[in-house]
Amino acid sequence: MRDLSGVHPPVATPFGGDGELALDAYDNNLREWLSHPIAGIVVAGSTGEAPLLDRRELWKLVETTVARIGDRTLTVGTGAESTREVIFVTRRVAELGANAVLVRSPSYYLKAMRPDAVRDHFLAVADASPVPVVLYHIPQFVPVHLTPDLVGRLVEHPNIIGIKDSSGDLRNLGQLIEACGRNAQVLVGSGALLYAALEAGAAGGILGVAVIATRSCCQIYDAWREGDHRRAGAMQERVAPLHKSLVAEGGIAAVKAALDRLGLYGGVPRSPLQPADAAKLAKVDAALEAAALGVSA
């Protein structure tokens, strides 16, 4: 089983003034993120505006990342409403060099998404995928709950190796850790909970705030691994407000504005998402100043 331990930034997708992918800017951002001891990169996660990308763009992002990432883990978001579509995209990104895929539940036909339908969807994807599958639980965007009981049954499949839990609920995270046991690893999705999640038994995190404060998130993980709990806790106290202000409250526009402020390329979100207005930009500046943290900090 591929080891997912560590910090995996779910990287932002930059667009140019013409609305197309800004691949050169993306490659420059990758250089910065990969200069830190991260475990891997997640392409086409929520922070990467996955639902707003077309297939052609996804292929280009994966190809660009594969050329840069070396032996670290490249996880690609391949969630879609159709099981058939998920399998097609999963097979293609695996051909391009992805090491794992991150798959959310279908939710458009919400009433039909009973546990047996969700189970069959993930098992079909796991059967067909050439690379390991990581389940994605993000109830604030996808209102299909991957309950600990269901997850415990799913991870009995040898090709389902983990779950990202973005519920922000430590109790739920603990139940998922217990349900996964030795069959799979749990990754926390909240940058405010990384240290607590590690203490509870999580393997690491896929953290939106790690796109902004890459080194600091890695330092939390490294300090915890070395048994320096005081340092890990102190770093977590600095990162948590940044997560709350920029990721949980500010969303994609705030994350991209923060990248611009830090010397990387954020740019504007893709429509229908709106760019940061003056009030949001002021909050971004205040959060960065208060945290005294940056991508290189």
d(CA 171, CA 212) in angstroms, rounded, equals: 27
For the question of residue 256 being annotated catalytic, the response is no
**Of the listed 164, 256, 280, 283, which one is catalytic?**
164
- Residue from 205, 204, 293 nearest 242 by CA: 293
List, in order, residues 6 or more apart from 169 with CB less than 8 Å away. Answer: none
- Residue from 71, 68, 83 nearest 6 by CA: 71
State whether the Cα torsion 92-210-220-216 is positive or negative: positive
Give strand pairing partners of 6.
204
Categorise residue 6: left if φ over 0, alpha if ψ from -120 to 50, beta otherwise.
left
Distances (CA, A) of 294 to 133, 211, 246, 284: 31, 9, 12, 12
**What is the rounded end-to-end Cα distance, in angstroms, of the chain?**
32
The one-letter amino acid at 228: D
d(CA 70, CA 212) in angstroms, rounded, equals: 21
d(CA 134, CA 155) in angstroms, rounded, equals: 9
Which residues have a catalytic role annotated?
Answer: 164
